[in-house]
Amino acid sequence: MSLPSNSNKAQSDLFRPLQSHDFMNPPILLAGTVDNVMYAFFRDRLMTAPPEGIVVIELSTLGGDPEVARMMGEDIRFHSDQEPNRRFVFLGKAAIYSAGATFMSFFARPNRYLTRGTRLMIHERKLQANVLLDGPLTMCIANLKAKLNEIEHSIQIQNEGFQNLIAGSSVTMEQVLRLAPENWYVEANEAQKLGLIEGVI
């Protein structure tokens, strides 16, 4: 009987539930604020990660720029589509707040894991802005409408992220929209029970 080839083993790794030993040496380790510095580091590590099999991205963050989190997430989505021999897996450690939860939402639910005691924190996007009304009345209206359009579009992007996060879980959009304005904290075991993640390591 012939032994299974490495490519067959890599294929089987793409579907099996993961155990603690699968997370021993993550090729991509991220910690701190989600910002352009983290993104540059992430891109560098992504390019040098194993070309097939499980690729663990470990993250611990208190939050940061949601648009950077979306860029990182889009990279995961793109590479997952283009490189079916690689399984990108998210491992959240200690704290996955705000933009960290946004990044996690780009991973398929079977590829989301948290370490014991980790907390997710999900909240609405925040805005701090002043609208200056100075000039012809029609320009004042235009300025107000521009700011309103910005807010409405940001809400749409935010809710798309919420929808991705809860897909396949028992959490409804109504629950998220009710809890997120007050900062919704979810402990790892609760997140697993709700179906937001696959497992706790």
Domains of the chain, each with CATH number or no CATH: 6-200 (3.90.226.10)
Structure pTM? 0.88
User: Do the beta carbons of residue 190 and residue 12 sit within 8 Å?
Assistant: no
Q: Higher confidence at residue 13 or residue 80?
A: 80
Q: Two tokens at 34?
A: 């989600």
- Cα–Cα distance measured from residue 198 to residue 194, given in angstroms and rounded to the nearest whole number: 10
Q: Tens digits of per-residue pLDDT, 161-186?
A: 999 999 999 999 999 999 999 999 99
What pLDDT, on a 0 to 100 scale, did the predictor assign at position 5? Answer: 53
Count the alpha carbons within 13 Å of 31 in the hemisphere toward its beta carbon: 4
Is a pLDDT exceeding 60 seen at residue 35?
yes
Confidence of residue 134 (pLDDT cuts 50, 70, 90): confident
